[in-house]
Amino acid sequence: GAVVSQHPSWVICKSGTSVKIECRSLDFQATTMFWYRQFPKQSLMLMATSNEGSKATYEQGVEKDKFLINHASLTLSTLTVTSAHPEDSSFYICSARRGQQTQYFGPGTRLLVL
Amino acid sequence: AQRVTQPEKLLSVFKGAPVELKCNYSYSGSPELFWYVQYSRQRLQLLLRHISRESIKGFTADLNKGETSFHLKKPFAQEEDSAMYYCALSGNNAGNMLTFGGGTRLMVKP
């Protein structure tokens, strides 16, 4: 089956620091990766869509300079939360898709900014 | 714009009872509808998609374009069905992004 991993699974950082989250497709090449954010007891909200080798497409209201996305290879996308603040604390989930097939989700990364 | 609505945040039933998780959508074109499930402490995973017309773990869902609904049903709930269920829509837009509903927590009591 298609497996997507995320690293780290959780991270605590100080306000003002930057945090990088990795999303990897382990056994398939993902032409498209998606980054979601999920607040407690709420649904997933799409942040951005990234295609390998091109710039990410951000959803309305998502600051692209705040949430830097890099999709340098067909198996790796990174999300960097720059100058993190407590309001950035959330559960970040990535998904990966090959062509037009189903999206496979990573286990998520819990970020806590103190 | 595309929107997915799950009117119930919580649905509690007894084991063996029928289950229906409601999902309504809004989309001007021909959507593709999905149900995703998230068990406790596990990642989100695809349960079924309407184009497959298959039954997974006893669950079925029929796309009703007239009512713009895609309700998830199971005739006899099991305790292991307790989880969060998300209805999602993918339109024929660029990127085929998924729009999720708010989710419904299903609790199956013994």
Which pLDDT belongs to residue B54? Answer: 75
For residue A46 the two structure tokens come to 């799409």
Cβ-nearest to A93 among B42, B44, B46: B44
Q: How far is CA B89 from CA A16, B30, B61, B92, in A?
A: 36, 10, 13, 10
Q: Establish if A54 touches chain B: CB-CB under 8 angstroms.
A: no
Alpha helix locations (H) across chain B? none
Q: Does A107 touch chain B (CB under 8 A)?
A: yes
Alpha carbons within 13 angstroms on the beta-carbon side of residue A84 total 21
Q: What is the pLDDT of residues B32-75, one digit of tens each?
A: 899 999 998 888 988 998 877 777 899 999 899 899 999 999 99
CA A6, CA B1: separation in Å to the nearest integer?
A: 30
Q: Which helix (H) or strand (E) holds A57?
A: strand A57-58
Mean pLDDT, chain B, integer: 90
Q: How confident is the model at residue B95 (pLDDT cuts 50, 70, 90)?
A: low
Asked which of B20-29, B57-66, B92-101 is least confident by mean pLDDT, the reply is B92-101
Residue A100 has pLDDT above 80, yes or no: no
Confidence band (pLDDT; 50, 70, 90) for A12? very high
Residue pairs between chains A and B whose CB atoms are closer than 8 Å: 41
Shortest CA gap B9–chain A (Å): 9
Tokens 């007894």 -> residue? B14
| A102 in contact with chain B, both atoms CB, cutoff 8 A | yes
Q: Note whether B102 contacts A49, CB cutoff 8 Å.
A: no
Comparing A1 with B1, the larger pLDDT belongs to B1
Q: Is the pLDDT of residue B1 over 80?
A: no
Closest chain A C-alpha to B101 CA, distance in angstroms: 7
Report residue B103's pLDDT band, with 50, 70 and 90 as the boundaries.
very high
pLDDT digits (tens, 9 = 90+) for A36-94: 999 887 888 999 998 887 889 999 899 999 999 998 888 999 999 999 999 999 999 99
The amino acid at B81: D
- Distance between B94 CA and the closest CA of chain A, angstroms: 10
